Structure 1
């Protein structure tokens, strides 16, 4: 009797879900929710407008969230959506941050906060918030530090000077070069024309390492942007190869 083991491979394709409508709904809600003036009418108008976003239960929950006896006004100065996550059952969890300008008497201050809400989308595409803005956090700067690229001493000084001269010539031309002009320096498609008025300043700390008959170069290139007058700093990781007496960027 022969026994065969059958291995099945399941490929799960991630379905793309367009969430722009959800994002727009939450942003419009936030502009209403976090904005009010120091007047009874403004606070009443805010509650009336919130009916277009909240379930009846959440409307009741928010009746006294902004009190008329406290002389404070708020306006939205910044808003950003961080994540939109489908949770099943036609619901999406949306995490966002908001910057409010708070005015109390003659004093003003900016308050930055982050919240998460849940939005239900029905079969017709209509939406309603089913979870009140709940305090949360947003990503902070990571402590990750990429490993620094170092020279292994595999490229001699003559070759290093040749490559630096080649790259200086190339990067002077690069901002305004056409595709045909680039083809003398770069393999097709590696670096595309950018058509910008940048003035080349210098190569910064190019690091050369040999890889078989090729040389890898990691470097920073500084330009002056003619329009903004700011220094434009770009970083490149290139692979160069010499054909005859000419160098060319191949990767």
Structure 2
């Protein structure tokens, strides 16, 4: 029976000789392609990075003190008319100082120097030989975050020795410092 199986197998091979050769060629081609790919493959290296995280101790004592101080100020803030007047007076004093500084420089200031005090084209340079004398009857009105000021400014004209009074209606806003915005 063993001989019969061998004979029938070889007989089948003889009949399908072309198919068997084709299959051998496919097998040889695939093995050759595998060997080729193995030699021409791009080496891939896995890089393992090690990240060291440093621990920092954050001192929250300053934050805690700030919050405690803020809470104390917030809850002790009196809303009586006297305390409101004090806060308004402090703002008016600060704005007055700003205006006096500004109007001392304004007559001879260049456009570049005015940019520090004036936002946009709220005021243009005048280039006159005036000397600041005083602010006359400033009226301050708080409008949200802005302060509107109506003021007359007394100047002494150095050329004619006459007193020059100019009227200004200004809108001031405070960022890091006071600035004329309108």
Query: Equivalent residue for 1:250?
Result: 181
Q: Does 1:195 align with 2:91?
A: no
Higher helix share: 2
SS in 2 for 1:185: coil
CA deviation vs aligned residue, 1:93-143 (integer Å, no higher than 9, x gap): xxxxxxxxxxxxxxxxxxxxxxxxxxxxxxxxxxxxxxxxxxxxxxxxxxx
Q: Does 1:219 align with 2:141?
A: no
**Separation in structure 1 between the aligned mates of residue 120 and residue 107 of structure 2, nearest angstrom:** 16
Q: Deviation at 1:241?
A: 0.3
**Separation in structure 2 between the aligned mates of residue 227 and residue 196 of structure 1, nearest angstrom:** 9
In the TM superposition, structure 1's runs of 4+ consecutive aligned residues that sit over 6 Å from their partners are none
**Separation in structure 1 between the aligned mates of residue 164 and residue 122 of structure 2, nearest angstrom:** 20
- Out of 86, 89, 107, the position equivalent to 1:175 is 107
Query: Equivalent residue for 1:231?
Result: 163
Q: Deviation at 1:188?
A: 2.0
Which structure 2 residues correspond to residues 1-251 of structure 1 after superposition, within 5 A? 156-244=88-176, 246-251=177-182
Q: Deviation at 1:190?
A: 1.1
TM-score, normalization by structure 1: 0.38
RMSD of Structure 2 on Structure 1 (CA): 1.5
Instruction: Choose 1 or 2 for highest CA Rg.
Output: 2
**Separation in structure 2 between the aligned mates of residue 250 and residue 174 of structure 1, nearest angstrom:** 15
**Unaligned stretches of 5+ in structure 1?**
1-152
**Unaligned stretches of 5+ in structure 2?**
1-84
TM-score, normalization by structure 2: 0.52
**Separation in structure 2 between the aligned mates of residue 177 and residue 204 of structure 1, nearest angstrom:** 21
Higher strand share: 1
Q: Deviation at 1:176?
A: 0.3
SS in 1 for 2:102: helix
CA deviation vs aligned residue, 1:135-193 (integer Å, no higher than 9, x gap): xxxxxxxxxxxxxxxxxx7x700000000000000000000000000000001211111
**Separation in structure 2 between the aligned mates of residue 192 and residue 216 of structure 1, nearest angstrom:** 19
Q: Choose between structure 1 and 2 for higher RCO, CA contacts under 8 A separated by at least 6 residues.
A: 2
Q: Work out the number of aligned pairs and report it.
A: 98
Q: Deviation at 1:212?
A: 1.1
